[in-house]
Amino acid sequence: MMQIKAKFDTDEGLNFIQQYYINQGLKKFGDDGKDAVDKELRQLLLRDCFTPKFVKEMTASEQKKAQSAMMLLAEKQFKKKIKGCLLYRGDRTREWLLQEDTASPTALQEAITTTCVIDAHESRDIMTMDVPNAFIQTYMPEAKEGEDCIYMKITGMMVQILIDMAPEYRKYVVLENGKRVIYVRVLSDNPLRSCNESLNALATSGVY
C-alpha cells in the first residue's frame, strides 16, 4: 500500500518514491527490506529512543493514548537502496496534542530560493551538513506531575524482530486481541525541539 509519494525531476523525467507498510514492503523488497527494518530498529535501540514498560505500571489514560508504531519501507531512487523508517502514528493524537508541539518544520521554497540568490549575489562561501538521526538525538523533557508520558505500541512482526535484537524485551510482551504487543515509552524524536536546539547551538557559537 502506497503511503507517500514524493516527486523528483530528473533527466529521465519524473521519479516517484513509494513507501510501503512493513508487510507489503517485505514482500516487495525481500531480504533487503528485512535488512532495512533491522537497521532502523537497531539504531533506535542503540540511541535509547524508547524504553519498554510493563502495562501494569502505566495509567489507564497512558494506555489508551498509546499509538501503534508504523514501519515504512521505500527504495531510494538515486542509490537504489532500501530505507526503513519507524514512525509514531500521530493522526490519532490531535485530541490531546497541540499542532505546534508536533510540527515538523519545513523551509519554504521561497525562503530557500531567496537565500540562494543572496548567497550568489554576495559570493558567499556555503557549507552544508547532515546530522545523522537528528530528530532521535533530541530527548523529550520529563513529564510533569499529573501529565501522561508518551507511549508507543510495537506490534506485528516487529515484536519478534525487537526480541531477537534485545531479548530483555520478551518479558514485556502482552496479548491484545490475540496479538503480541510491547509498550515502549518514547524518549526522543521531536522535530520542532530538534530544530530549536540546532538554532540555539548555532546562535551560541556565533555562526547564526
Q: What DSSP letter does each residue of 15-44 carry, written as one string? A: EEEEEEEHHHHHHHHTHHHHHHHHHHHHHH
Q: At residue 110, does pLDDT exceed 50?
A: yes
Q: At residue 163, does pLDDT exceed 90?
A: yes
Domain ranges of the chain: 2-93+147-205
Say what the pTM is: 0.71
pLDDT-derived band at 117 (thresholds 50, 70, 90) equals: very high
Q: Are strands 151-155 and 67-76 parallel, antiparallel or unpaired?
A: parallel
Note the pLDDT of residue 180: 96
Note the pLDDT of residue 3: 42
The Cα–Cα gap between 67 and 87 comes to: 10
- Rounded mean pLDDT of 172-198? 81
Residue 73, C-beta contacts closer than 8 angstroms, at least 6 positions apart: 19, 20, 21, 22, 25, 26, 28, 29, 33, 36, 37, 82, 83, 84, 85
If phi over 0 gives left and psi between -120 and 50 gives alpha, with beta otherwise, what is residue 61?
Answer: alpha
